[in-house]
Structure 1
């Protein structure tokens, strides 16, 4: 059996808890087509250690977008992302939880995704890395409007891009923790978090005054309020940048550019990088790493 047929299947604890049936199906399909070593981490540290110590086995993440981002971030921090071939079987409680994996080309459904792991081929994809060593696979959005349209996880604020993800909202990454054994404790913890929320230092909702620079060229400056800024991999080692200027009366056309480096600065602002919200910050720079990682996708 070749090294390609040897898999390290890392099953995210949230996936085990929220959709055990899909996890079981993925294990069965993978086990029928390859030599599988299962890893059931109980938290982010064990998750990372399993990936780093994978040896010659191909890593396969069974979990949602946050699990995928945690895996990419871990391999990036170890400076082995470029040489690794990552696979993912998306498992999440809602479609929004696996939207990034779908956008990257991973099939929906445990059976189809597991077959793609066995029969697919690695494809090199561009990666965006920020100046705090956080990674972005999908896009950056300012302000941080997310899948739910309200950016309600903005309070997380820890980390930069995928690099700052230390678990799922509400401490669920630990899987099988005290809150799961004692539901009343989870309720108390939720109440404490709610009462302990402090007012955000971020600018109020509405147009922001930001300076957006693409490869050193200023697209908009602080004198032009903007409704939104979007940065996403655009292929060929470039990012696609779109700035939506705030308009009064007549509509103002979006400002678009392609760049290898994008810097946003100005008053305190929050941003969403893939599934994670960070901020407030005063400045952030994102750079494209051409073909910076490999993901197994259908042929």
Structure 2
């Protein structure tokens, strides 16, 4: 865990979408950062300029002012360049703040900018798929928003990576097949560390995968049900493979696909994010 002094030099990359969404928050963040450190401001007009600015950061610490897409874009660029291990990212969320806040970044521009100046680097897990895409916060299949499990599993067998929860409180109210749009009904094979959690003969409402801690991802499979309660199937593991007919998925704020098979692997401590010191 690294701490930072306010004398550090910063490269502040302001995503164009942030400037359009909330110029006042951008201005506030710039003022706080410039008052606390030597900050070089960069206003890219598109993804190519964004990538060039990040690649030419030199010894400056990169700070992204933008939404979840901008943060995920920065991590993906550094991952493809094999530079994540030596780079601590900071973010001041402007626009859609959900991803950054889920990772522990304050939502307001002043608090987030102060965290950039006074915070600490924490190494976080992320998912890397077999097409070199990354997931920071959550993966959802189908790409509609998926609620994460709200509690820990009841038990885990030491010899296997998957398990079933018997706690009704982990699931929302049961879903009936007639109430689910046909596009939401999917037949997927989900395997965690080689163990099958659900197969193609069991239609599912949703699958969610979230990087956890200690190198294991949390997997929640919500089967469809007809007149009975749908108990979620829970699993933890380092490798998650999903197979199905032309399915789409949401990785953080981006929808990808269709694909017939995709594998995600956990990169333990794969990236560094500057967060408030007291977290």
TM-score (norm 1): 0.77
Name which of structure 1's ranges 26-35 and 203-212 shifts more when overlaid on structure 2.
Answer: 203-212
Judge conservation of contact 1:146–1:275 (CA < 8 Å) in 2.
Answer: no
Deviation at 1:2, TM superposition (A): 7.2
* 1:289 counterpart (238, 245, 267): 267
- SS of aligned partner of 2:212: strand
Greater per-residue helix proportion:
1
> In structure 2, how many angstroms separate the alpha carbons of the residues matched to 1:250 and 1:17?
47
1:217 matched to 2:195 = yes
**What runs of 5+ residues in structure 2 fail to find an aligned partner?**
147-180
TM-score (norm 2): 0.83
Partner in structure 1 of residue 122 of structure 2: 123
Deviation at 1:204, TM superposition (A): 4.5
Q: Deviations over 1:156-192 (max 9, x none)?
A: xxxxxxxxxxxxxxxxxxxxxxxxxxxxxxxxxxxxx
Q: For 1:103-252, what aligned pairs fall within 5 Å after superposition?
A: 103-146=102-145, 204-252=182-230
**Distance verdict in 2 for CA 1:218–1:34, change over 3 Å:** same
Greater per-residue strand proportion:
2
Deviation at 1:206, TM superposition (A): 3.5
Q: List structure 1 segments (4+ residues) > 3 angstroms apart after TM superposition.
A: 1-4
**Distance verdict in 2 for CA 1:7–1:104, change over 3 Å:** same
Partner in structure 2 of residue 167 of structure 1: none
Deviation at 1:24, TM superposition (A): 1.1
> In structure 1, how many angstroms separate the alpha carbons of the residues matched to 2:145 and 2:220?
17
Deviation at 1:70, TM superposition (A): 0.8
1:63 matched to 2:66 = yes
> In structure 2, how many angstroms separate the alpha carbons of the residues matched to 1:89 and 1:100?
11
**Distance verdict in 2 for CA 1:127–1:4, change over 3 Å:** farther
Judge conservation of contact 1:4–1:58 (CA < 8 Å) in 2.
Answer: no
> In structure 2, how many angstroms separate the alpha carbons of the residues matched to 1:20 and 1:294?
27
Aligned length: 240
Judge conservation of contact 1:12–1:62 (CA < 8 Å) in 2.
Answer: yes
1:260 matched to 2:238 = yes
Deviation at 1:273, TM superposition (A): 0.8
Judge conservation of contact 1:3–1:56 (CA < 8 Å) in 2.
Answer: no
Deviation at 1:282, TM superposition (A): 0.5
Deviation at 1:237, TM superposition (A): 0.4
Judge conservation of contact 1:8–1:37 (CA < 8 Å) in 2.
Answer: yes
* 1:49 counterpart (47, 52, 67): 52
Q: Deviations over 1:173-216 (max 9, x none)?
A: xxxxxxxxxxxxxxxxxxxxxxxxxxxxxx95142111000001
Task: Tell me the C-alpha RMSD between the 2 structures.
Answer: 1.7
- SS of aligned partner of 1:56: coil
> In structure 2, how many angstroms separate the alpha carbons of the residues matched to 1:63 and 1:219?
37
> In structure 1, how many angstroms separate the alpha carbons of the residues matched to 2:125 and 2:5?
28
> In structure 1, how many angstroms separate the alpha carbons of the residues matched to 2:132 and 2:204?
26
Deviation at 1:28, TM superposition (A): 0.8
**What runs of 5+ residues in structure 1 fail to find an aligned partner?**
148-202
